[in-house]
Amino acid sequence: MLLEVQNVEVVYNRFFVAVKNLSFGVEEGSITALLGPNGAGKSTILKAISGLIGTERGEVTRGRIRLDGRDVAGADPEATYRSGVVHVLEGHRVFRELTTEENLRVVAAHATDLEQAYAYFPRLRERRAEQAGYLSGGEQQMLVIARALLSRPRVLLIDEPSLGLAPLFVKMLFDTIARIRAEQRISILLSEQNAIKALGIADYAYVLDHGQMVLEGRADEISRNEDVKEFYLGFGQSYADVKSYKRRKRWLF
- Nearest residue to 127 (alpha-carbon basis) of 203, 138, 15, 116: 138
DSSP per-residue codes, 149-200: HTT--SEEEEE-TTTT--HHHHHHHHHHHHHHHHHH--EEEEEES-HHHHHH
Q: What is the full per-residue pLDDT of the chain (253 aa) written as tens digits?
A: 999 999 999 999 999 999 999 999 999 999 999 998 888 999 999 999 999 999 999 999 999 999 999 999 999 999 999 999 999 999 888 999 999 999 999 999 888 999 999 999 999 999 999 999 999 999 999 999 999 999 999 999 999 999 999 999 999 999 999 999 999 999 999 999 889 999 999 999 999 999 999 999 999 999 888 877 776 544 345 555 554 544 344 443 3
Q: What is the pLDDT of residue 92?
A: 82
- Give tens-digit pLDDT for 176-233: 999 999 999 999 999 998 899 999 999 999 999 999 999 999 999 998 888 777 765 4
pTM, two decimals, is 0.90
What domains can be seen in the chain, in order of their start residue? Answer: 3-248 (3.40.50.300)
Q: What is the pLDDT of residue 99?
A: 98
- Assign 30 to helix, strand or coil: coil
What pairs with residue 3 in β-bridges? 26, 67
Say how far apart CA 208 and CA 41 lie, in whole Å: 7
Q: What is the pLDDT of residue 109?
A: 80
Say how far apart CA 12 and CA 206 lie, in whole Å: 23
Q: What is the pLDDT of residue 182?
A: 95
CA dihedral (235, 26, 65, 151) positive or negative: negative
